[in-house]
Amino acid sequence: MSFNSLGLSQALLKAISKKGYTTPSPIQQKAIPPILEGKDVLASAQTGTGKTAGFTLPLLHFLSENPKEKYRPIRALILTPTRELAAQVYANVKEYSEFLNLRSAVIFGGVNQKPQAATIRQGIDILVATPGRLLDLENQGLLSLKRIEIFVLDEADRMLDMGFLRDIERVIKKMPERRQNLMFSATFSKDIKKLAHGILHHPVQVEATPENTTVDAISQKVYRVAKGLKTSLIIKLISDGNWKQVLVFTRTKHGANKLCKKMISANISAAAIHGNKSQGARTKALAGFKNGSIRVLVATDIAARGLDIPLLPHVINFELPNISEDYVHRIGRTGRAGAKGEALSLVSADETTYLRGIEKLIDMKLPVEIIEGFEPDPNASTVPEKKQQRGGGNRSRGHSGSGKSKSGGQKSNHSRRPKRSRDRRNNDRRN
């Protein structure tokens, strides 16, 4: 199948050709036709499978084929959980709409709102936004959602993990009831299906790959190591391999900063990216990582979905996530668009439970290696660190952790609303 057979306009086909694309990915093949037909869609696809184009292309086709008033009310809203993802989606919208008479804008927290508001005042057709800044500007009367015709909820599962349920509900109430709804998610959890039931109308469900699988192009390996030797081991791996571009994940912001300093002390150029960093610092770090001036980018899970780094060869889990699904999203930063990639995990004794959960989720046993001089501590406890310190109880999902509901299942941050609701705008600026 080619893009020509999907029914897209010549202007879009020209933009697609300019980017060098000839064959639509599986998620694009499955999602674009029903979206062009005006149907609501619930789509699941692994990260790196081209899902952004899966909703962007038909959205642009519809808007360009059905032009509206000259003053350009906002007709399409794409909601994303993080600034990085919002910027990435916006970049795709700009590229694909190069030969169309459409205007777009992106808004998110952490930066001055005045330039964003000025762009919106000039009239735009498509708005890409994070929830906090969107509601902020709407409450100030600087934008209106009353003319939205297409609503896209991107990375819906991450939205729920970060506690954005109430904000999503508030956004929906500000839009007209008659509109097309598109929901894209890496997983189809019970919470996602419940959310979809409240937003989508008789949706077409498409799934490009089995849920929570890891792409075949990614080589995965576990290094068993004593907790106190992890830093020395990761420096050895990067130095001995002479790796030039490595994305490293930690569980905490403090851990990211600490590891980054150790890397720099070992003469490895590195930068940290997480929610406490200013938008300017995050943008600078990502740009340096992409252009090669920074070899190692140390990140928390905020970066697991929102970073688009072509041909990234190495991802290292310095610490395993205690939400198994986050492992899939982390390593999905490599092995994109059919390229080969390597995902390594440094696993200490207290992460044994997390490793078992990941292997169960992806339905495979990860190969294990032990490097001489970095052996695991045979006397170390296999109880997760937080349980050792507090006698049980992991962090909430909104902070890359987990919790238990009364029914004994996983709970998301949206089950603990009062405090996070009050702090929503600040949370968006952090994330």
CATH of residue 230's domain is 3.40.50.300
- Neighbouring C-beta atoms of residue 382, cutoff 10 Å: 12
Looking at the fold, whether 174 and 230 belong to one and the same domain comes out as no
Decide if 351 is inside a domain: yes
Looking at the fold, whether 186 and 253 belong to one and the same domain comes out as no
Looking at the fold, whether 120 and 254 belong to one and the same domain comes out as no
Examine the pLDDT at 309 and tell me if it is beyond 80.
no
Model pLDDT for residues 140-153, shown as the tens digit of each residue: 999 999 999 999 99
User: Is residue 247 within 8 Å of residue 307, measured between CB atoms?
Assistant: yes
Decide if 418 is inside a domain: no
Looking at the fold, whether 159 and 266 belong to one and the same domain comes out as no
Looking at the fold, whether 12 and 102 belong to one and the same domain comes out as yes
Looking at the fold, whether 278 and 160 belong to one and the same domain comes out as no
Q: What pLDDT, on a 0 to 100 scale, did the predictor assign at position 430?
A: 40
Looking at the fold, whether 251 and 186 belong to one and the same domain comes out as no
Bigger pLDDT: 211 vs 234? 234
Instruction: Find the domain containing 137 and state its range.
Output: 3-207
Model pLDDT for residues 337-395, shown as the tens digit of each residue: 556 789 999 999 999 999 999 999 888 999 999 999 999 999 999 888 765 443 333 33
Decide if 170 is inside a domain: yes
Model pLDDT for residues 7-56, shown as the tens digit of each residue: 999 999 999 999 888 889 889 999 999 999 999 999 987 666 788 999 99
User: Is this prediction's pTM over 0.75?
Assistant: no
Looking at the fold, whether 72 and 113 belong to one and the same domain comes out as yes
- Tell me the backbone φ, ψ of residue 209, rounded to 5 degrees: -145, 160
What is the pLDDT of the chain when averaged over all its residues? 84
Decide if 423 is inside a domain: no
Decide if 419 is inside a domain: no
Last residue of a domain, one of 353, 372, 387: 387
Cα–Cα–Cα angle for 334, 97, 76, rounded to 5 degrees: 90
Looking at the fold, whether 122 and 198 belong to one and the same domain comes out as yes
Cα–Cα–Cα angle for 309, 89, 410, rounded to 5 degrees: 85
**Who's near 319: CB < 8 A, 6+ residues apart?**
230, 249, 250, 251, 255, 346, 351
Decide if 230 is inside a domain: yes
Q: What pLDDT, on a 0 to 100 scale, did the predictor assign at position 426?
A: 47
User: Is residue 402 within 8 Å of residue 322, measured between CB atoms?
Assistant: yes
Nearest to 182 by CA among 12, 34, 16: 34
Model pLDDT for residues 56-83, shown as the tens digit of each residue: 999 999 999 988 766 789 999 999 998 8
Looking at the fold, whether 262 and 240 belong to one and the same domain comes out as yes
Last residue of a domain, one of 186, 207, 228: 207
Cα-Cα-Cα-Cα torsion 30, 31, 35, 41, nearest 10 degrees, comes to 110
Looking at the fold, whether 223 and 168 belong to one and the same domain comes out as no
Q: How many domains does the chain have?
A: 2
Mean pLDDT of 281-305: 85
Q: What pLDDT, on a 0 to 100 scale, did the predictor assign at position 158?
A: 82
Decide if 410 is inside a domain: no
Q: What pLDDT, on a 0 to 100 scale, did the predictor assign at position 330?
A: 85
Looking at the fold, whether 327 and 229 belong to one and the same domain comes out as yes
Decide if 314 is inside a domain: yes
One-letter amino acid for residue 418 of the chain: P
